[in-house]
Chains A and B, each alone.
Chain A
Amino acid sequence: MTLVSDLAAASAHVHDSAKLPSGDYDRQLRELVEYLKRLLSTKALDALANDESILDHFNPARDSIPYLFILRLQIQTAQETTVETVPTKIQPKGVLWTRSVDFLRNFDRIQVRYVGREWRELLEIVGHASQAVSQSDFVSMQKLIPVHCQYWTTTFAIFQLCLCIPLQSFLCFVQRTSPAGMVYMALKDWRKALHFLGVVVSTPVASSVSLVMVEAYKKWVLVGLLEHGRLYPPPTITTPHVMKIYQSMARPYVILAHAFERGDIRRLRAEVDSAKDIWENDNNTGLVSQVVNSFYRQAIIKLGKTFAALTVADLAKQVFPLPVHEEIAESVIVSLVLSGALDATLLQTQDQAVSSMLRFSTTSSFTRLSHEMHIQSQLQKERFIMEALVGNLRESNQTLGLSDECVDSVHKGQAWSGSEVNPILGEEVGLEMDEDLMGDMP
């Protein structure tokens, strides 16, 4: 128990130092972490490894560092004893699960910055435990992580779980890539997804290309088709040797893109069917099926470049490979127009037997008008935002420039010597006040 009291006292001392200048607090925290690591390496902490009630002596919010160290040690011991990755104690409703959840809900974010690796390990263990049992627990676990969490990979873990991307591909992405690409793909925001995938695809490499980059390129090809309707070239900074590797490793995707570009639906379908296993293994089946749907839209748009207007029956003959019932063709085209995916308008006639007419937007004053109205509403929206921004800026300027406190602090600042030590940066910084330029005027 002496060890526990010592640890509690050391942690309390650090906690009390939180009011000290940041340099001192930083030093105290580093010393505490060193102390705990020393205890771990000399096996002095092993006495606490099996007694879960020890954690009652520590408050996860106040004593985050010792709490995390002891909790990690107890989890590790449980794993070693049972020879299981997720022992019962760590599973939801287990003793260590409750402790972990309690910690993740309440930890001190400043303290945890000094033990980032341990914190992340705990998060992963809890994540695995939750996923092993039930997805819903996992979701609840994610929600426990405070929103101000500053860890890239953790934020990504949360995104991944929210969108339920297969764990295997997720783990790859965690290593290097931006999570945003995956999220935007799920939200069908292809333009933004392309941007983030482009970052991964064009990552500078010396010799070899990572698997993550190849995976990103495969998705790049598919998302490029969805956004631009063609094999979209990767960012220009991608080196030629990397491009060659991409081309050879993502060959089925490139072939699919070529079939798409040629406007040959039969070939596109054949390519999709023949490489079914590849799409499945790469977790890209969903994207591929969306590419096929997008093909019809692109085919109709291409027709719009030749024709000003077409009846739905004629359009169906041109676009669909096999004869389809006019009602089905019309419903497909109507849903494209209604969802805004196709810039065109429909004209019906009195006679139900007569096919509707599709008029492409470039020729229609009606759609031009509605586009203009849409743009007008967008501009109005932007104006609201700008007004709010300008209003707030004016307010801030007034507060900063005219308030007595501000004038006082400026006076004080001028009185200070230029060699003040910044309590946060811990180094000498000048005040960098602008000289009075008007003083030089005659």
Chain B
Amino acid sequence: MEQLAGLVSSNALPSQLFEALSQYEQEACLISAGSGSPETSGNDPTLLSAFYSSFFLVHLLTDQVPEARALTKRIPAALLHQDSSLQNCLTLLRAVWQTQVGQVYQILRQCPWPEALQPLVRRYESFYQNKTLISVSTSYEAIRLSTAAKYLGLVEQAAEQEDPNVIANFTKCGWTWDPATKLLHPKAIVVSPTDHQSSDGIREAMKMLGKSGS
């Protein structure tokens, strides 16, 4: 449990978190089920719940929504129905799946998430904001400030009053604000692959080839 909490609250990259948690799934299941040893035979749902909730959020953080859905099918049904944290995960998945942006923010901010999961929930909220901002920038040619604020989970009343702080959230991304028409004109945001993560696989394969050849 402590190991898991430490990992979840660390600043590790989402891909690293995903790798670490993937390897931990077997242990979590075995520890939780007792794994044949009578001393640890008490079925402890706390660990499994914490593990699966964290793993689920890390799936979302790495933008693997279909895989997150597959994960929910692996979670023991009884645990999934009883555990409030996993129930939150399910509701969140539904909202993300259906692109119900408003609901996503509502679930992330208002649902009672356990303290240990808070760092991941906050990280996902920020990730989701960025992801939505990118989608909106390529989907709208002109957008009302209140609609744009809704997509970012900002206070809509402030947007309706044309709060400069709200406008600044968009203009800093290169969007233009037309005070005459009271519309924002987005500039398409394209994420350039700055990390070399995609070439890691090739590097590993070449290393293996090198080894087998030597």
Residues of A in contact with B (beta carbons under 8 Å apart): 92-94, 97-98, 101, 134-137, 139-140, 143-144, 161-164, 186-188, 331, 334-335, 337-340, 345-350, 352, 359, 364, 366-367, 369-370, 373-374, 376-377, 380-381, 384-385, 387-389, 392-393, 395-396, 399-400
Pair B26/A384 contact, Cβ less than 8 Å: no
Known: A101-B36, A134-B76, A188-B66. 16 other contacts (CB 8 A): A93-B33, A136-B79, A140-B28, A140-B33, A186-B70, A187-B66, A334-B99, A338-B99, A338-B101, A339-B135, A340-B135, A347-B142, A348-B140, A384-B199, A385-B202, A393-B206
A93-B41, A335-B98, A350-B182 known; A345 vs B76 contact (CB < 8 Å): no
A350-B181, A370-B138, A396-B209 known; A377 vs B193 contact (CB < 8 Å): yes
Nearest A-chain residue to B99, judged by Cβ: A335
- Say how far A237's CB is from chain B's closest CB, in angstroms: 31
For A98, the chain B residues whose CB sits under 8 A away are 35-36
* B74: interface (CB < 8 Å): yes
Pair A163/B190 contact, Cβ less than 8 Å: no
- Say how far B26's CB is from chain A's closest CB, in angstroms: 4
Measured CA separation A364–B147 after assembly (Å): 22
Nearest A-chain residue to B178, judged by Cβ: A350
Pair B213/A388 contact, Cβ less than 8 Å: no
For B118, the chain A residues whose CB sits under 8 A away are none
Interface size class, chain B: 35 or more
Measured CA separation A395–B202 after assembly (Å): 13
Pair A347/B140 contact, Cβ less than 8 Å: yes
For A144, the chain B residues whose CB sits under 8 A away are 26
Measured CA separation A374–B136 after assembly (Å): 14
Within the complex, which residue of B36, B74, B196 is in contact with A92, where a contact is CB–CB below 8 Å? B36
Chain A, interface SS category: helix
Q: Within residues 40 to 72 of chain B, which ones have a CB less than 8 A from any CB in chain A?
A: 41, 48, 66-67, 69-70
Pair B73/A163 contact, Cβ less than 8 Å: yes
Pair B190/A374 contact, Cβ less than 8 Å: yes
* B25: interface (CB < 8 Å): yes
Nearest B-chain residue to A403, judged by Cβ: B214
Pair A162/B70 contact, Cβ less than 8 Å: yes
* B1: interface (CB < 8 Å): no
Measured CA separation A399–B209 after assembly (Å): 12
For A335, the chain B residues whose CB sits under 8 A away are 98-100
Nearest A-chain residue to B70, judged by Cβ: A163
Measured CA separation A380–B198 after assembly (Å): 11
Pair B33/A339 contact, Cβ less than 8 Å: no
* B188: interface (CB < 8 Å): yes
Nearest B-chain residue to A393, judged by Cβ: B206
Q: Within residues 64 to 120 of chain B, which ones have a CB less than 8 A from any CB in chain A?
A: 66-67, 69-70, 73-77, 79, 98-101
Measured CA separation A262–B157 after assembly (Å): 46
Pairs across A and B, CB under 8 Å, 7 listed: A92-B34, A136-B79, A139-B29, A352-B144, A366-B188, A384-B196, A385-B198
Measured CA separation A350–B178 after assembly (Å): 11
Within the complex, which residue of A135, A377, A385, A389 is in contact with B190, where a contact is CB–CB below 8 Å? A377
Residues of B in contact with A (beta carbons under 8 Å apart): 25-30, 32-38, 41, 48, 66-67, 69-70, 73-77, 79, 98-101, 132, 135-144, 147, 181-183, 188, 190-193, 196, 198-199, 202-203, 206, 209-210, 213-214
A137-B33, A335-B99 known; A364 vs B74 contact (CB < 8 Å): no
- Say how far A192's CB is from chain B's closest CB, in angstroms: 13
For B33, the chain A residues whose CB sits under 8 A away are 92-93, 134, 136-137, 140
A136-B76, A163-B73, A392-B203 known; A381 vs B193 contact (CB < 8 Å): yes
For A393, the chain B residues whose CB sits under 8 A away are 206
Chain B, interface SS category: helix
Nearest A-chain residue to B143, judged by Cβ: A348
A136-B75, A140-B29, A186-B66 known; A387 vs B199 contact (CB < 8 Å): yes
Measured CA separation A331–B103 after assembly (Å): 13
For A143, the chain B residues whose CB sits under 8 A away are 25-26, 29
Pair A345/B144 contact, Cβ less than 8 Å: no
For A92, the chain B residues whose CB sits under 8 A away are 33-36
- Say how far B87's CB is from chain A's closest CB, in angstroms: 17
Measured CA separation A199–B192 after assembly (Å): 36
Measured CA separation A186–B72 after assembly (Å): 13
For A338, the chain B residues whose CB sits under 8 A away are 99, 101, 132, 135-136, 139
The 8 closest A-B pairs by CB, nearest first: A140-B29, A388-B199, A143-B26, A335-B99, A392-B206, A164-B73, A370-B188, A98-B36
Pair B70/A136 contact, Cβ less than 8 Å: no
Nearest B-chain residue to A359, judged by Cβ: B141
Pair A140/B26 contact, Cβ less than 8 Å: yes
A94-B36, A377-B193, A392-B206 known; A337 vs B142 contact (CB < 8 Å): no
Measured CA separation A337–B37 after assembly (Å): 53
For A374, the chain B residues whose CB sits under 8 A away are 138, 190
Nearest A-chain residue to B77, judged by Cβ: A135
Pair B29/A137 contact, Cβ less than 8 Å: yes
Pair A373/B99 contact, Cβ less than 8 Å: no
Pair A348/B36 contact, Cβ less than 8 Å: no
Measured CA separation A347–B183 after assembly (Å): 10
Measured CA separation A350–B146 after assembly (Å): 10
A163-B73, A187-B67 known; A377 vs B192 contact (CB < 8 Å): yes
For B26, the chain A residues whose CB sits under 8 A away are 139-140, 143-144
- Say how far B13's CB is from chain A's closest CB, in angstroms: 17
Pair B141/A347 contact, Cβ less than 8 Å: yes
For B73, the chain A residues whose CB sits under 8 A away are 163-164
